[in-house]
Amino acid sequence: MGKRRRRYWLLKTEPEEWSWEDQRSNGGVSTWDGVRNRQAINHMKAMRAGDRCFFYHSGAAARRVVGVVEVVKPWYTIAAGGEDGAVDVRSLGEMRKPVELREIKAEAEAEAMKGFALLKQPRLSVVPVPEGIWERICEMGGGYGDAAAEEEEEKEKEKEKEAAPSSPEEEEQDE
């Protein structure tokens, strides 16, 4: 069976509660917990190690994508009953230029962000990000992290594309 493709997400946080600076100063790895909305929890339960997430500052002062983290530990329960849980994430890099919500909305008018859950369900704290939208937001922000990390990610994407079956028949053979 083939390797699961990386998925992309957006994690919202109030900067007063947990900021990008907090994430970086924490050695880069932190537990992402405190999510109460059922739909957001289901998104977190769908996350796997290696998935990438935009780190998004919400709140009135600054609504913007400020960095990128990677899931290093998928969903696990942190309390009896299994309802309270978390994922662990590791900082990959700060956006070279934060991408403001107003910029994302402007792109939506031009169809580039059509269907993006951030715009359709603005109060949801964890949302999936389609790959094309992920790439567009990274482009709008001038990338993230250092050039070596981005180059490595591009190489990994190329390997995934080469390894992906090109037809349904090939996909069936992999199973």
Position 175 scores a pLDDT of 40
Question: How many residues are listed for the chain in this entry?
Answer: 175
- What's phi and psi for 98, nearest 5 deg? -55, 145
pLDDT in tens, 151-172: 556 666 676 667 666 544 444 4
Mean pLDDT of 134-149: 84
pLDDT attached to residue 170 = 46
At 43-93, the pLDDT tens digits run 999 999 999 999 999 988 889 999 999 999 999 998 766 678 999 999 999
User: Do 14 and 59 contact (CB within 8 A), yes or no?
Assistant: yes
pLDDT of residue 172: 45
DSSP letter string, 83-144: -SEEEEEEEEEEEEEEEEHHHHHHHHHTTTTTT-HHHHSTT-SEEE--HHHHHHHHHHTT-B
> Average pLDDT over the chain, rounded to whole?
86
Closest CA to 149 of 67, 73, 74: 67
Inform me whether the pLDDT recorded for 1 exceeds 60. Answer: no
- Given a cut of 90, whether residue 31 has pLDDT beyond it is yes
DSSP state of 163: H
Tens digit of each residue's pLDDT (9 = 90 or more) over 97-112: 999 999 999 988 877 7
Q: Is the pTM of this model over 0.95?
A: no
